[in-house]
Amino acid sequence: MSGENVVPRVILGCQPFIGESYQGPERNRVYAERFRDFRNVADVLERAVVRYRVSALAAVPASVSSLAVSFMKAVKVVERRTSVFLSLTPCLSIPLRVKGKPVDDYRRWLTYYEHEKHTDQTGLLEKYLTDPILLTRPNWRENFMETVEHSSPYTSEELNTLTVDYGKIDVALESLKENRILFTEPGSETDFLAATGKVEELWRLIEYLRGRGFKKVFLGVHHAGTTIPILEESRLNFDGYVTPVNRLGAMMFPSREKALQSIKSTGKTVVAIKPMAGGRIPPREAFRYVFKESGVQSTMVGVASREELDIDMKAIEDTLH
């Protein structure tokens, strides 16, 4: 089930293929309509494999959505056409429940905010309210301010009831059993477990994944500046991080500076995501920052067409050579 151990410089991202543009609902609908047909996904993937020798793809389990099913079908089609076995890096959402109910997304972000307020980070609220990728969520600014003013972060009493729904994880893993896996990535709920002192739940999850044959585990974080130091001090046995790295600092919390400081301090492999901040940074500028300035060795790159693929891969080649 596990693939090669070496993480390549470039992993082709999957977010456009599953309808996520990081530019808002209208562009999301365009992507969803385009990639509902698996042949359109396969067209881009095949070019990536044949022309640019891409061997690894980001993924989400087929259980997530019909677009995820289309994506996984396209992977198999391209493997047959090219005789190349592709390695996947599936992101697994961690299905957290408190008092038997799914964790509320806005209270989760409020919990992050209260945790990070103690890092002496000036302008933190403005960072939360103006992050360009968060702002693509419908009514993000209004909803988060409503939560700040009228709600509260999760309490210790509530967190004592926190559980992980392993039934949902089993369904996700079952949908991946026919694929070669480079590493699995428990998603950004990792930040919540670190911020709330529930690192032991990550330990259980990592051991569970390895017990199911998924040996290599990277942890997805969006709050690298506060989460990575906690995980580095823990005794967790995992293989690396998947985290945003871009010049704008989009989705790099509590700030780009603190995130980069933590990223550069770890000895583990770091895979950069959102290098172009959802299309807000020109490719050459984006990859120069990732590879030359931040020192990250690998990146995920999401593209929505063969033309975008060509532009981005040329920028990467020029940067690395």
Domains of the chain by start residue, with CATH:
10-320 (3.20.20)
* Residue 3 confidence (pLDDT): 42
Mean pLDDT in runs of 10 for the chain (321 residues)?
A: 69 97 95 97 98 97 95 97 97 97 97 89 91 96 98 97 97 94 97 97 97 96 98 95 98 96 96 97 97 95 97 96 85
Long-range contacts of 61-64 (CB under 8 A, 24+ apart): 61/90, 61/92, 61/171, 61/172, 61/173, 61/175, 61/176, 62/175, 62/176, 63/171, 63/172, 63/174, 63/175, 64/18, 64/93, 64/172
pLDDT at 305: 97
